Structure 1
Amino acid sequence: MTRILHILDHSLPLHSGYTFRTRAIMKSQQNAGMDVRGITGQRHAADGPMVQETEGLTFYRTPGTADGPVGVRELREVGALAHAIETTAEEWRPDILHAHSPALCGHAGLKAARKLGIPLVYEIRAFWEDAAVGNGTGSEGSLKYRMTRALENHVVTGADAVFTICHGLRDDLIKRGHNGGKIGISPNGVDLSLFGDPPPRDEALAKELGLPAGGPVIGFIGSFYDYEGLDDLIASMPHLLALQPSAQLLLIGGGPRDEALRQQAAASPAGQAIHFTGRVPHDQVERYYSLIDILAYPRKASRLTDLVTPLKPLEAMAQRRIVAASDVGGHRELITDRETGVLFPADDPAGCAAALSDLYDSRDDWDAMRNRAKLHITDRHDWAQNIYRYQSVYQRLLTPKANQSIATAA
């Protein structure tokens, strides 16, 4: 039985898109007969034992908290995580180290892999320097931005195999001069066993939130970062109300832009039709999904959104929800316009409103759109099938003198 040690920034029991992808990968690998465990670095900010069992998965923790000036602190983090990987490997003896971005995890994995003499697979879910620009904690071209990219390049060069979650990231690495033959794609996916038919509309919750019947209800569920473009969605509401007088907007979640978005909504002439719920418990999210006619993802056009595919639209399509999203590269990899969802112009509130209104007026076509979207998820984004992209690469790396193209295998 092949043993895989996943090297992670953070993990369950914390809830995030990052941890849900990790859970899906590890659970699917378990179901396929692999022995998998995870290890997190010092940024896993949650109390718990040094070896933690959660949802049937085992995670090791790296002790301590890194300190010092920028640069020194990160090197200390890498050193601590590399040491923890080596200590864990002495006890558990993994066959493969599978590190997941950010590059700090990849660098620690690379150090440990070289010392232990076992293969390293490095997986990039996003370029974290671009994510920092997108969430307002960094600036493009800054020293930190360039250093993060240089570290990523170092890990990609040193790893035995590389995966990205989409074509945008892979193409960017190749443009930098990396060998495309060792870079495969493991797309965002869903565990279809977790998704059944949508529940009926929760009328009690609708009444509690003040959502009148008649629709359409446009909804967003997720984190309120600037790059998500929720300000454009709020700005689209006066235009949408002119076309659909009963339209409502339901924003579920929270984040750095929360207060600014609430102020924008309060000042909007459509303010009475805009509803904020704050963050809701994960086990209650399905109730909120039941109220939404169209899930909207209005991401702004940027390097981050053009290169990275999000998870939320896939989860919505797996639940047979109707989705509409801005026409950025990451969405174009997931959604075929007018077939599995609708794409509308990015950074264009009026264009967004027109597309949402047209989509709502085409309700007779929704069942066919739902069916096409679910089939797309089943064919391309089901973890039960996609984990074999990893397995074929693992087998090649564990075969002496493996020299086949990772990209071909993946």
Structure 2
Amino acid sequence: MTRVLHVLDHSLPLHSGYTFRTRAILRAQQATGIEVRGVTGLRHGAEGPATEEIDGLTFHRTPGAASGPAGLREWREIGALARAIEAVAAEWRPDVLHAHSPALCGLAAARAARALDLPLVYEIRAFWEDAAVGNGASREGSLRYRLTRELENRAIAAAAAVVTICQGLRCDLVARGVAPEKISVMPNGVDLTLFGAAPRRDEALARKLAIGEGPVIGFIGSFYDYEGLDDLIDAMPDLLRVHPGARLLLVGGGPMEAALKARSEASPVAHAIRFAGRVPHTEVEGYYSLCDIMAYPRKRSRLTDLVTPLKPLEAMAQGRIVAASDVGGHRELIADGVTGVLFPADDPAACAVRLAALFDAREGWDAMRQAGHAHVAAHHDWARNIRHYQDVYQGLLGPDREGRPQVAA
């Protein structure tokens, strides 16, 4: 039986898209018979024991803290995580190291893989230099941007195999000179066992939010600038001119929350916009139940053109209608007019036109919901897709290295 040690930036019990994808991967691998554990770096940031079990998954933590000026601090982080990997490997004896971006994880795993003589898989979920630009923490072409990109290139070069979450990232890597045969694509996925019938409308929650009868456009997620929620707010006046009962429900929080609330208050249709704040993960389904259309108005950038998000897939799995901007990451997931609707990015007026047309075409909603769910089931179901990882692992281990290698005491 193959044992895989996943090297992670952070994990459960923290909640993020990163930790939810990790949980899905590890649980799906367990279901196929692969033994898995995770080890997190110094940026995990959640208090807890050195080893903890969460949702049936075992995670090891890197002890200590890194200090010093930029550059030296990251070098120390890499060293601490590499030592933690080696310590877990000495006790648990994995067959494969599977590191997940950012590059600090990849470089720490590369150092440990050399010491342990183990194959390394490096998985890129996004280019973190572009994510930093999208989050407002950096700017494209800056020294920090170039250094982060160089670290990523080194992690890629050190890995025996590279995995990305979408074709956009794969094409960018090939353009950098990475051999196409070294790269596999493991799309974002959904655990369909978590999604049954579409949730029934939570009438008590609707009354609490004074959401009315709708139609309701919803967004549930983090409020980053690249998500384009300001464009969605700006689209509301045009939309209400043709659909006066329309409401916008924004659930979540993040760096843009204060600015978005100020923009909403200044809007001539402020009465039609609701901010629900952050809600516990166990209560999210109730908010989904109120939304007729889930909207994802991402702005156009390298990040959004190259990376496919998870939220539209989760919405389709729940039988929600999806409307999204036509950035590359969305085009890779959504067939316009079939599994959802695409509208021009960075254009509130065009967004309003497409949303209004969608409200006027309710007779086609059932077919669109069914097509969206079928697309997720066929192409983004973890239970189906997870077996591609085993192909990658066995390609590295070879036919005579199935299962744990013999290690001298």
Q: Shorter-chain-normalised TM-score: which range?
A: over 0.9
Instruction: Please name the residue that 1:140 is paired with.
Output: 140
Q: Distance in 2 between matches of 1:340 and 1:231?
A: 25
Instruction: Please name the residue that 1:285 is paired with.
Output: 284
Instruction: Please name the residue that 2:406 is paired with.
Output: none
Q: Mark the CA change 1:252 to 1:187 in structure 2 (over 3 Å): closer, same or farther.
A: same
Instruction: Please name the residue that 1:259 is paired with.
Output: 258
- Listed one character per residue, the Cα deviations across residues 338-374 of structure 1 (whole Å, up to 9, x for unaligned) are 0000000000001000100111111111111111111
Alignment of 1:151-170 (within 5 A): 151-170=151-170
Unaligned runs of at least 5 residues, structure 1? 403-410
Q: What SS is found at the alignment partner of 1:395?
A: helix
Alignment of 1:173-212 (within 5 A): 173-212=173-212
Q: Distance in 2 between matches of 1:65 and 1:257?
A: 29
- Listed one character per residue, the Cα deviations across residues 239-258 of structure 1 (whole Å, up to 9, x for unaligned) are 11012111000000000000
Instruction: Please name the residue that 2:380 is paired with.
Output: 381
Instruction: Please name the residue that 1:230 is paired with.
Output: 229
Amino acid in the other structure paired with 1:45 = G
Give the superposition deviation at 1:396.
Answer: 1.2
Instruction: Please name the residue that 1:117 is paired with.
Output: 117
Amino acid in the other structure paired with 1:287 = G
- Listed one character per residue, the Cα deviations across residues 50-102 of structure 1 (whole Å, up to 9, x for unaligned) are 00100000000000111111111110000000000001100000000000000
Mapped pair 1:75 → 2:75: yes
- Listed one character per residue, the Cα deviations across residues 139-183 of structure 1 (whole Å, up to 9, x for unaligned) are 111111101100111111110000000000010011011111110
Amino acid in the other structure paired with 1:52 = E
Using the size of structure 1 for normalisation, the TM-score is: 0.97
Q: Distance in 1 between matches of 2:193 and 2:281?
A: 17
Give the superposition deviation at 1:198.
Answer: 1.4
Q: What SS is found at the alignment partner of 2:386?
A: helix
Instruction: Please name the residue that 1:299 is paired with.
Output: 298
Q: Distance in 1 between matches of 2:393 and 2:242?
A: 54
Give the superposition deviation at 1:104.
Answer: 0.4
The question of whether the paired residues in 1 share the 8 Å contact of 2:325 and 2:342 is answered with: yes
Amino acid in the other structure paired with 1:173 = L
Q: What SS is found at the alignment partner of 2:220?
A: strand
Alignment of 1:211-360 (within 5 A): 211-213=211-213, 215-360=214-359
Give the superposition deviation at 1:401.
Answer: 9.8
- Listed one character per residue, the Cα deviations across residues 92-131 of structure 1 (whole Å, up to 9, x for unaligned) are 0000000000000000011100110010000000000000
Instruction: Please name the residue that 2:17 is paired with.
Output: 17
Mapped pair 1:65 → 2:104: no
Amino acid in the other structure paired with 1:353 = A
Q: Distance in 1 between matches of 2:283 and 2:79?
A: 40
Q: Distance in 2 between matches of 1:61 and 1:246?
A: 50
Q: What SS is found at the alignment partner of 1:280?
A: coil
Amino acid in the other structure paired with 2:73 = R
Give the superposition deviation at 1:391.
Answer: 0.2
Q: Distance in 1 between matches of 2:28 and 2:265?
A: 45
Q: What SS is found at the alignment partner of 1:218?
A: strand
Mapped pair 1:95 → 2:95: yes
Give the superposition deviation at 1:300.
Answer: 0.1
Give the superposition deviation at 1:216.
Answer: 1.0
Aligned residues: 401
Q: Distance in 1 between matches of 2:217 and 2:350?
A: 15
- Listed one character per residue, the Cα deviations across residues 289-313 of structure 1 (whole Å, up to 9, x for unaligned) are 0000000000000010000000000
Q: Distance in 1 between matches of 2:295 and 2:392?
A: 36
Mapped pair 1:6 → 2:14: no
Instruction: Please name the residue that 1:407 is paired with.
Output: none
Instruction: Please name the residue that 2:407 is paired with.
Output: none
Q: Distance in 2 between matches of 1:134 and 1:401?
A: 45
Give the superposition deviation at 1:47.
Answer: 0.7
- Listed one character per residue, the Cα deviations across residues 193-215 of structure 1 (whole Å, up to 9, x for unaligned) are 000111211111111111111x1
Q: Distance in 2 between matches of 1:287 and 1:20?
A: 19
Alignment of 1:47-58 (within 5 A): 47-58=47-58
Q: Distance in 1 between matches of 2:375 and 2:202?
A: 28
Amino acid in the other structure paired with 2:38 = G
Give the superposition deviation at 1:400.
Answer: 6.6
The question of whether the paired residues in 1 share the 8 Å contact of 2:199 and 2:318 is answered with: no
Q: Distance in 2 between matches of 1:181 and 1:280?
A: 43
- Listed one character per residue, the Cα deviations across residues 250-279 of structure 1 (whole Å, up to 9, x for unaligned) are 000000000000000000001000000110
Q: Distance in 1 between matches of 2:155 and 2:179?
A: 13
Q: What SS is found at the alignment partner of 1:367?
A: helix
